[in-house]
């Protein structure tokens, strides 16, 4: 995963649009799945293209229009959509947008219908004293899960068998990584190296998405 590990960062701030341009940044490009950041300046677009895999698009900042024959969907920051495979899918932005694109075989998407706008944070509720997980993508090589933490809950120190990327969706938390604490809030991100020791402690109700890549 081509992302610096072990510090708080922001996908939207680090990938701000450039006037008149569209920008892509490759994060992971494997045969089974791909992850890219995209930045669209106001009034720019990406022409429709056909892929055999489905795409999950998550908007970090701005407004994004995703379209394919007969359908057009307008997304704002915090919203996501799954574009279907084997049809020409295009993206455009009137005011500018930064988004993450995750491409994966449709069979690995869990209980999310293509063509419907949804909020990642809205996929899981809060429950006092509990942590709730919901898998969005589950494949042999990549997992994408949304989690909610009740106030005062957390994950004790552990290590993951692959690299990971956190998207903070709501609230605040402390990420303890290799013995150092990092405060993270909604709209920020954090990346772990494979086998990096980490813990998460919610500072009040907290929601996040976790992208885990496996070898």
Q: In terms of domains, do 15 and 97 share one?
A: yes
CA gap 187, 13 in Å, rounded: 10
Number of domains in the chain: 2
Among the candidates 90, 119, 148, a domain finishes at 119
C-alpha to C-alpha distance for 11 and 117, rounded to whole angstroms: 21
- CATH number (domain holding residue 150): 2.60.120.10
What string of pLDDT tens digits covers the 215 residues of the chain?
Answer: 899 999 999 999 999 999 999 999 999 999 899 999 999 999 999 999 999 999 999 999 999 999 999 999 999 999 999 999 999 999 999 999 999 999 999 999 998 988 999 999 999 999 999 999 999 999 999 999 999 999 999 999 999 889 999 999 999 999 999 999 999 999 999 999 999 999 999 999 999 999 999 87
Q: Is residue 164 part of a domain?
A: yes
User: Is residue 106 located within the same domain as residue 18?
Assistant: yes
38 and 134, same domain (yes or no): no
Q: Are 58 and 138 part of one and the same domain?
A: no
Please indicate, yes or no, whether the overall pTM of this predicted structure exceeds 0.75: yes
Is 113 found in the same domain as 149? no
DSSP 31-68: SSEEEEEEEE-TTEEEEEEE-SSEEEEEEEEEEEEEEE
Domain limits for position 208: 121-213
Same domain, 157 and 196: yes
Q: Is residue 32 part of a domain?
A: yes
Residues 143 and 181 in one domain: yes
Say whether both 46 and 97 belong to one domain: yes
**The pLDDT value given to residue 215:** 76
Q: Say if residue 113 is in the same domain as residue 69.
A: yes
| pLDDT for res 11 | 98
Residue 4 belongs to some domain of the structure: no
152 and 95 in a common domain: no
The backbone torsions φ and ψ at residue 19, rounded to the nearest 5 degrees and listed phi first, read -50, 130
Domain boundary among 87, 119, 151: 119
Last residue of a domain, one of 96, 119, 142: 119
């Amino acid at each position: 995963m081509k992302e610096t590990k072990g510090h708080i960062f922001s996908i939207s701030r680090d990938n701000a649009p450039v006037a008149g341009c569209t920008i892509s940044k490759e994060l992971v490009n494997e045969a089974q799945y791909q992850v890219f950041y995209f930045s669209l300046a106001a009034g720019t677009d990406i022409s429709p293209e056909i892929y055999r895999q489905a795409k999950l698009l998550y908007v970090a900042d701005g407004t994004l229009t995703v379209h394919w024959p007969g359908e057009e969907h307008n997304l704002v920051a915090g919203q996501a959509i799954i574009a279907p495979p084997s049809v020409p899918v295009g993206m455009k932005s009137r005011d500018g947008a930064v988004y993450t694109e995750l491409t994966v075989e449709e069979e690995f998407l869990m209980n999310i219908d293509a063509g419907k706008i949804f909020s990642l944070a809205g996929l899981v509720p809060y429950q006092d004293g509990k942590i709730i997980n919901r898998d969005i993508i589950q494949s042999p090589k990549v997992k994408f899960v949304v989690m909610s933490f009740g106030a005062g809950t957390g994950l004790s120190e552990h290590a993951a068998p692959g690299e990971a990327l956190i998207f903070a969706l709501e609230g605040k938390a402390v990420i303890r990584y290799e013995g150092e604490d990092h405060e993270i809030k909604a709209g920020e991100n954090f990346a772990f190296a494979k086998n990096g020791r980490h813990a998460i402690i919610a500072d009040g109700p907290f929601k996040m998405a976790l992208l885990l890549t496996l070898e």
